[in-house]
A and B are shown apart, each in its own frame.
Chain A
Amino acid sequence: MKKSLRTSLAALAALAAAVMLPTLALAQTHAAHEHGKVAVDIAVEREQLTIGIDTPLDNLLGFERAPRSAAEKQAADAAVARLRAADGWLRIDPQAGCQLQAVTLESGALGLGGAPAEGEHADLEGSVTYRCTDATRAAWIDVGLADAFKRVKVLQVQVAGPQGQAKQTLSGKNRRVVLAK
């Protein structure tokens, strides 16, 4: 019995290894680049809520290099403006009393600082900071990136909050990150 339980545990570990290795090794590195997918990191502290995003530029623009034509430049400017207006695609539980404080965007290809674009697979990283009366009271955050940018299909969300850490995957019509366990 003992041996069979041990064997089961080992099999479980092996299964986990086999299934998770290809995806997670990528998911955990900085440069994970998968079209349609956006990595969203949410950190909750009492007076501050930080939402980080890391996305291939393709999700926002349909191309992922520096814009070449006037039309591409216009599209890039519009996407950046939409991201900067974070209240348009982020909605936080009013219980927390949060006010948008700062939005920083980095993308070498778009001339927004950060590492210079290498090849044809440029990314954009962003960080949105909110000042809150008590962010720990927020039970949810709606991340509407898939509404703002039609090419966004899946959000891989990591949450670090007072109730611990969690992972959520949002796809389809689901926009809500649940913070309260």
Chain B
Amino acid sequence: MTPLITLAARSAWNRRFTLMLTVASIALATLLLMGIERLRTDLRANFSSAVSGTDLIVGARTGSTQLLLYSVFRIGAATNNMGWASVQALAAHRAVAWVVPISLGDSHRGYPVLGTSGEYFERFRYGNRQPLKLAEGRAFNQLFEAVLGADVAEQLGYKLGQRLTLAHGSGELVAEHADKPFVVTGILARTGTPVDRTVHISLESMEALHVDWVGGVQMPGRALTPDQLREMNLQPKAVTAALVGLKSRPAVFSVQRWVADYRAEPLMAILPGVALDELWEVVGVGEKALLAMSVMVGVVSLAGLVSVVLAGLNERRRELAVLRAVGAGPRHVLALLALEGALVTLAGALLGLLLALGGAAALGPWLQSRHGLVIGWGMPSTAQWMLFAAVVATGWLASLLPALRAYRLSLVDGLSPRI
């Protein structure tokens, strides 16, 4: 067998340029397949880990996916707010253990600002029910104090004690709350969730920012000083949504119905895990389309492999005939071509795998800091190995096609093939 491998290697080296192109195209197809699979699974893991330990999210009546997207992922916007009286009624429900109201809408240099209660830092869980941890400083406990997510602090280079001003709204044209600066009192440890990209302030601070604003602009001559604001009742009149924890799990559906039937205002309660599954039902269609496209790229690459080998076959008929003349049987010729096909496919697939791993490692930090997406670059998952095996197996089978033709030709060809 060893002489056969040596022969295959030398023959391949002779045609190295064409074969390298084939290897490159198989590598790109593998990279695409593996990359999409990794992005798909990591994106799902990221989304799934963004909230845990919250039994229900309650907000104004809308679609469950919208409520989940804006309350947890800060994507999109609320159609309506939820009255403070409703938050209190919810907190008073006998099955409810805790309620953490959240208020969104303002931003700081592109990062969303979240108004919430101090209980948020104790109750909020992510990943596998992990609590939030402060990497530095402390949570806010009075007006105009802010706790930053890890990405906000890192990207903007903020330290404890630094002053910052928040912007009204989150669009391109935003007005600054420049007269009411905040001071950074805490920086949260990294979570790999939207929390990292959020500026947290108290609900009272959020209210204080907007007391002297009407219709999205500050009333001229009505500006209040921070000291005047501290004297005022700053209980919010409305919030965006509320995270709810229950005393017992079976109550989740009865509280959900209670919220749906709540008479004072139209509200809805979603189970975050259920809403996430609904989101995947929609996203799944796009994922399948992406996967189908990369499978098509794979097929095109393998078709390239077959055509390159087939095109080279005519040129190699003399080489194969010489081999036959020196004693190689048709089976040897078949084995030679099958071995070459297997090696080319394997080399391409391995190169693609390395590119996928390297790409994830190289792009990982950028994706995390810019988009909050944590990409793992460790060992490939089972699904990725299966895709890898599928590429290698299909590539090898595709290379058998020209090998079979060569096998037939080598039987009929003499030393003077009719070219």
B371 at the interface (CB under 8 A from A): yes
- Chain B residue numbers with a CB within 8 Å of A45 are 248-250
Cβ < 8 Å to B, chain A residues 17-51: 17, 19-21, 24-25, 27-30, 41, 43-45, 48, 50
Do A165 and B272 form a contact, CB below 8 Å, given A24-B65, A45-B249? yes
A19 to B76, CA, bound (A): 15
B283 at the interface (CB under 8 A from A): yes
Query: Do B272 and A43 have beta carbons less than 8 Å apart?
Result: no
Query: Do B277 and A43 have beta carbons less than 8 Å apart?
Result: no
Query: Do B75 and A48 have beta carbons less than 8 Å apart?
Result: no
- Chain B residue numbers with a CB within 8 Å of A15 are 282
Taking the closest CB of chain A, its distance from the CB of B50, in whole angstroms, is 13
- Chain B residue numbers with a CB within 8 Å of A14 are 76
> Closest chain A residue to B266 by CB distance?
A29
A15 to B274, CA, bound (A): 18
A102 at the interface (CB under 8 A from B): no
Interface residues as binary, B247-284 with A (CB distance below 8 Å gives 1, 0 otherwise): 01110110011001100000011111110011100110
Do A43 and B249 form a contact, CB below 8 Å, given A20-B282, A29-B268, A166-B277? yes
- Chain B residue numbers with a CB within 8 Å of A119 are none
Do A16 and B69 form a contact, CB below 8 Å, given A28-B64, A30-B261? yes
Query: Do B260 and A29 have beta carbons less than 8 Å apart?
Result: yes
Taking the closest CB of chain A, its distance from the CB of B257, in whole angstroms, is 5
B38 at the interface (CB under 8 A from A): no
A168 to B64, CA, bound (A): 15
Cβ < 8 Å to A, chain B residues 207-257: 248-250, 252-253, 256-257
Query: Do A24 and B64 have beta carbons less than 8 Å apart?
Result: yes
- Chain B residue numbers with a CB within 8 Å of A168 are 277
A50 to B271, CA, bound (A): 16
Taking the closest CB of chain A, its distance from the CB of B93, in whole angstroms, is 15
- Chain A residue numbers with a CB within 8 Å of B279 are 16
Do A13 and B75 form a contact, CB below 8 Å, given A21-B66, A29-B268, A50-B250? yes
Taking the closest CB of chain B, its distance from the CB of A181, in whole angstroms, is 10
Query: Do B253 and A158 have beta carbons less than 8 Å apart?
Result: yes
Query: Do B270 and A28 have beta carbons less than 8 Å apart?
Result: yes
Query: Do A17 and B63 have beta carbons less than 8 Å apart?
Result: yes
Cβ < 8 Å to B, chain A residues 48-78: 48, 50, 52
A24 to B270, CA, bound (A): 10
Query: Do A13 and B76 have beta carbons less than 8 Å apart?
Result: yes
Query: Do A30 and B260 have beta carbons less than 8 Å apart?
Result: yes
- Chain B residue numbers with a CB within 8 Å of A2 are 370-371
A164 at the interface (CB under 8 A from B): yes
**Which listed residue (B69, B260, B277) contacts A167, Cβ 8 A?**
B277
A160 at the interface (CB under 8 A from B): yes
- Chain A residue numbers with a CB within 8 Å of B151 are none
- Chain B residue numbers with a CB within 8 Å of A164 are 52, 273
A65 to B232, CA, bound (A): 56
B61 at the interface (CB under 8 A from A): yes
- Chain B residue numbers with a CB within 8 Å of A178 are none
A10 at the interface (CB under 8 A from B): yes
Query: Do A158 and B274 have beta carbons less than 8 Å apart?
Result: yes
Query: Do B64 and A52 have beta carbons less than 8 Å apart?
Result: no
- Chain A residue numbers with a CB within 8 Å of B63 are 16-17, 20-21, 24-25
A16 to B281, CA, bound (A): 9
Query: Do B277 and A5 have beta carbons less than 8 Å apart?
Result: no
Query: Do A19 and B282 have beta carbons less than 8 Å apart?
Result: yes
A15 to B252, CA, bound (A): 28
A97 to B121, CA, bound (A): 39
Query: Do B75 and A9 have beta carbons less than 8 Å apart?
Result: yes
Taking the closest CB of chain A, its distance from the CB of B10, in whole angstroms, is 45
Interface residues as binary, A138-181 with B (CB distance below 8 Å gives 1, 0 otherwise): 00000000000000000000111100111110000000000000
A158 to B283, CA, bound (A): 19
- Chain B residue numbers with a CB within 8 Å of A159 are 274
Do A20 and B64 form a contact, CB below 8 Å, given A30-B257, A43-B249, A45-B249? yes
A137 to B222, CA, bound (A): 63
B62 at the interface (CB under 8 A from A): yes
Query: Do A12 and B283 have beta carbons less than 8 Å apart?
Result: yes
Interface residues as binary, B47-66 with A (CB distance below 8 Å gives 1, 0 otherwise): 00000100100000111111
A161 to B253, CA, bound (A): 12
Do A167 and B274 form a contact, CB below 8 Å, given A17-B63, A160-B55? yes
Task: Rank and list the top 10 A-B pairs by shortest CB-CB distance, nearest first.
Answer: A165-B273, A167-B277, A43-B250, A41-B253, A167-B274, A21-B63, A165-B271, A30-B260, A13-B76, A20-B63
- A residues neighboring B (CB under 8 Å): 2, 5, 9-10, 12-17, 19-21, 24-25, 27-30, 41, 43-45, 48, 50, 52, 158-161, 164-168
A-B contact pairs, 21 of them (CB 8 A): A10-B76, A12-B286, A14-B76, A16-B283, A17-B63, A17-B76, A20-B282, A21-B66, A24-B64, A27-B64, A28-B260, A28-B270, A30-B261, A43-B252, A43-B253, A158-B253, A160-B253, A160-B273, A165-B272, A167-B273, A167-B278
Known: A20-B65, A160-B252, A166-B274. 20 other contacts (CB 8 A): A10-B76, A13-B69, A16-B65, A16-B69, A16-B279, A20-B63, A20-B64, A24-B65, A25-B268, A27-B64, A30-B261, A41-B253, A43-B250, A50-B250, A159-B274, A160-B253, A165-B271, A165-B273, A167-B273, A168-B277
- B residues neighboring A (CB under 8 Å): 52, 55, 61-66, 69, 75-76, 248-250, 252-253, 256-257, 260-261, 268-274, 277-279, 282-283, 286, 370-371
